[in-house]
Chains A and B, each alone.
Chain A
Amino acid sequence: MLAVEQLGRDFGAVRAIAEISVTFEPDRFTCIVGPSGCGKTTLLKCISGLLPPSRGRVTLHGRPVTRPPREMALVFQDYSRSLFPWMTVRDNVAFPLRKRRDLDAAALRELVEESLAAVGLSDAIGRYPWQLSGGMQQRTAIARAIAYQPEILLMDEPFASVDAQTRADLEDLILAIRRRYSMTVVFVTHDIDESVYLGDRVVVLGPPPTQVKEVLEVGLPAERDQITTKKDPEFLRLRSHVFANIMNREEQG
């Protein structure tokens, strides 16, 4: 189990995160929403062990996280900056696996190809990232994360810079992947609809100095669909609830 315990982070005099405590149960899909600049990226970097917290701690199975653990993979907010431009799609996906003793060459190759097939990129395997569209690049980053076979998948606004159609496709792709490989997912977004559509649970963050505003269970059926789910009265209720919550908070601040 992954737990964030009274975590806080400052940048110099700026208090980015005041205090956040939240736990992530195995195999659950948690969305974290909050206004831009509220510290979502900072929170994910602390969880992943890339950034040491100023206060509090993050524990995984009871052990404090001080550097990126083997159990986690992170899909960065800006895909164009997290893919290595000098490696092909195949090499980008295989790069994190190069030290895996348990995989021989054939197994490694199969794993890479299967992950790319899962995101529908089998045809682009020999191309370079800069020869791909934005959506394809982000799918490459996702394939890299899946191939790493993490217990916990962290995603930082992964669909923020793709067009609406691609975004809907990628959302369904993530749901499919999540069903196929059982993983704990922590999905950061600033899009309220997206958080309700994807999550089993939505954690709402307030503006800085950031605290958890509310934790909502999403009572929608596990099977989601872009058209029917988004018409579901429960979906509509939840999204206006979150919306009002965030707006209200901003008016007060």
Chain B
Amino acid sequence: MKRNGRTVLIALEIATPFVLVTLYALWAAPRDSFFFPPLGEILAALRADWFGERILSDIWPSIRRILLGFSLSAILAVGLGFALGLSRRARIATAPLVEFFRALPPPALLPLTILVLGVGDVAKVLLIALVCLFPILQNTIAGITGIDPTLRETARMYGITRRGELLHVVLPGALPAIFAGLRTSLSLAVIMMVISEFVAASNGIGFGIWQAKRLFDIPLMWSGIIILGILGYILNMALLQIESRVLAWHRGARKAAE
């Protein structure tokens, strides 16, 4: 009985996506709708274009922009977060500024970077870095202030140096919160990459999709959207993988606390 239930659940889980895709294929094929082309055409564009020469000419530049901007902001934000997290008065003094930049809708900064930095790769990378900075910064600060004071007192009691305390007590203690910030920022990085490529670029996935839309190459446009979905999925998975490696202790501790 129970076994049966589980089989049904697993079957449902696997079958539903297939059913949905099949339904689309059946629905779109005879209709020959301009905006919703048959599945076959989308897949053909996916294979011929995106998995063809566009891997190097468009997909790679996009990935590079994301990775550069994201890592740049991660380094800056964690460093700055340490400075602010460790000094109560500095933290209080800068709280409104951090709050402001965290609340600012990131796309609003796009016109600004175009104005100041132009439309080159540097401008895109810096825009991504700027946008990703604040969620990580805010989470790092929260992570550091959230560390149990007893842990830091323990380190002081046993004569741990300031450096040792930062490296082995404060950093690991703040890491779960830092990763939460990284996850938020990674999806922002993808968003900023896409819209900056929509608005002004000569290559990239966003550029490819926008160009396809302008030329009314609808299958190419949809397949580009699928590529972005896959890219978002892979980036997210990669970060989760790293996180589960680094934070194995945290998962265990949380489970034990339940």
A and B touch in the complex (CB under 8 A): yes
Q: Interface residues, chain A, CB within 8 Å of chain B?
A: 45, 48, 50, 67-68, 70, 72-74, 76, 78, 81-82, 84-86, 95-96, 98-99, 128, 130-131, 144, 148
Alpha-carbon separation in the docked complex, A130 to B161 (Å): 26
Assuming the A-B contacts A74-B157, A95-B160, are A82 and B253 also in contact, with contact meaning beta carbons closer than 8 angstroms in the complex? no
Interface range, B side = 20 to 34
As a 0/1 sequence over residues 133 to 175 of chain B, the CB contacts with chain A under 8 angstroms (1 = contact) are: 0000000000000001011011011111100100011001100
Alpha-carbon separation in the docked complex, A141 to B157 (Å): 13
8 Å CB interface, B242-256 against A: 249-250, 252-253, 256
Q: Interface residues, chain B, CB within 8 Å of chain A?
A: 148, 150-151, 153-154, 156-161, 164, 168-169, 172-173, 249-250, 252-253, 256-257
| Chain B interface, DSSP helix/strand/loop, else mixed | helix
Q: Which A residue's beta carbon lies closest to that of B159?
A: A70
A130 and B253 form a contact (CB under 8 A): yes
B249 and A85 form a contact (CB under 8 A): yes
Alpha-carbon separation in the docked complex, A85 to B151 (Å): 10
**Residue from the list A74, A78, A98, A148 in contact with B164, Cβ < 8 A:** A98
Taking the closest CB of chain A, its distance from the CB of B169, in whole angstroms, is 7
A50 and B153 form a contact (CB under 8 A): yes
**Residue from the list A73, A78, A86 in contact with B158, Cβ < 8 A:** A73
| Residues in chain B near residue A95, CB distance under 8 A | 158, 160, 168
Assuming the A-B contacts A68-B159, A70-B159, are A78 and B249 also in contact, with contact meaning beta carbons closer than 8 angstroms in the complex? no
What are 16 A-B interface contacts by the 8 Å CB criterion?
Answer: A48-B157, A50-B157, A73-B157, A74-B157, A76-B153, A78-B150, A82-B153, A82-B154, A84-B154, A85-B250, A86-B173, A86-B250, A99-B159, A99-B160, A99-B164, A144-B158
Assuming the A-B contacts A68-B159, A96-B160, A98-B164, are A85 and B253 also in contact, with contact meaning beta carbons closer than 8 angstroms in the complex? yes
A81 and B150 form a contact (CB under 8 A): yes
Taking the closest CB of chain A, its distance from the CB of B167, in whole angstroms, is 11
B256 and A131 form a contact (CB under 8 A): yes
| Residues in chain B near residue A67, CB distance under 8 A | 156
**Residue from the list B151, B158, B169, B252 in contact with A130, Cβ < 8 A:** B252
| Residues in chain A near residue B169, CB distance under 8 A | 84
Instruction: Please indicate which of the listed interface residues B148, B154, B157 has the most CB atoms of chain A within 10 Å of its own CB.
Output: B157
A130 and B153 form a contact (CB under 8 A): no
Q: Which A residue's beta carbon lies closest to that of B158?
A: A96
Taking the closest CB of chain A, its distance from the CB of B184, in whole angstroms, is 23
| Residues in chain A near residue B159, CB distance under 8 A | 68, 70, 96, 99
Taking the closest CB of chain A, its distance from the CB of B94, in whole angstroms, is 26
| Residues in chain B near residue A50, CB distance under 8 A | 153, 156-157
| Residues in chain B near residue A84, CB distance under 8 A | 151, 154, 168-169, 172
B156 and A130 form a contact (CB under 8 A): no
Q: Which B residue's beta carbon lies closest to that of A98?
A: B164
| Residues in chain A near residue B148, CB distance under 8 A | 81
| Residues in chain B near residue A48, CB distance under 8 A | 157
| Residues in chain B near residue A81, CB distance under 8 A | 148, 150-151
B164 and A82 form a contact (CB under 8 A): no
